[in-house]
Amino acid sequence: MTAPAARTGVRARTRAAILDAAAEVLTATPAASLGQIATAAEVGRTTLHRYFPERIDLLRALARHVTDLSSQAIVRAEPMGGTPSAALRRVVEGQFALGPILLFVYTEPSLAGDSALWDELERGADPVDAVLVRMREATGSALPLPWIRRTFWALLYAGWEAAKEDGTPRHELVDAIMTTLTRGVLPEPEPA
């Protein structure tokens, strides 16, 4: 008989394999079937349904999983270490790497109307806010934090789209995001 801890470990690994496969498959083919995801996860469709009875259950779990990945990337970026600008760049690079799956989660129509899910997911924005506040204080900006946060995510979204549609290299897009965040698109000239 298998010990409960071993079963839990196997269940956790199987669940993670399904979510990782879903992230990979759905970023390439947003309308992919649960069967395609099960195949990519190397589990049977019945097993997938044991974990996620309906597609929406899988999508909600994937959104939470992606939020966890985003939070882990922020922690790895050490947002409170080094200069505010260097910390912001590390956060941008970490989030940019998650682009395809974040783009899928944020644009998936079946998730868009789930306000309870989005309320839950937005609680993970605090570490991003911390680095944005550091940068705002370092630059003396008077812009409100909600505007800065929206700008941050909108620029990442624009970068992900540019990478996907135009094939612009990642390093150029990270540079463009940082330039836009720190200098603006159309800064007014210094008064004479």
The tens digit of pLDDT for each residue in 9-62 reads 888 999 999 999 999 999 999 999 999 999 999 999 999 999 999 999 999 999
Question: Measuring CA to CA, which residue among 163, 87, 172, 190 is closest to residue 131?
Answer: 87
Q: Which of 55-59, 150-154, 156-160, 183-187 has the lowest mean pLDDT?
A: 183-187
Q: Which residues contact 150 (CB under 8 A, 6 or more apart)?
A: none
Q: Report angle CA 116, 120, 123 to the nearest 5 degrees.
A: 145
pLDDT tier at 107, thresholds 50, 70, 90: confident
Question: Measuring CA to CA, which residue among 22, 43, 44 is closest to residue 33?
Answer: 22
pTM score over 0.85: no
Rg (CA), the chain: 19
Q: Does residue 167 sit in helix, strand or coil?
A: coil
CA distance 29 to 22: 10
| Model pLDDT, residue 22 | 96
Given a cut of 50, is residue 1 above it in pLDDT? no
Q: Which residues of 168-177 are buried (b: 16+ CB within 10 A; e: fewer)?
A: eeeeebbebb
Q: Which domains can be identified in the chain, with CATH numbers?
A: 1-53 (1.10.10), 59-183 (1.10.357.10)
Are 114 and 60 in contact by the 8 Å Cβ rule? The answer is yes
pLDDT tens readout for residues 62-98: 999 988 888 889 889 998 899 999 999 999 999 998 8
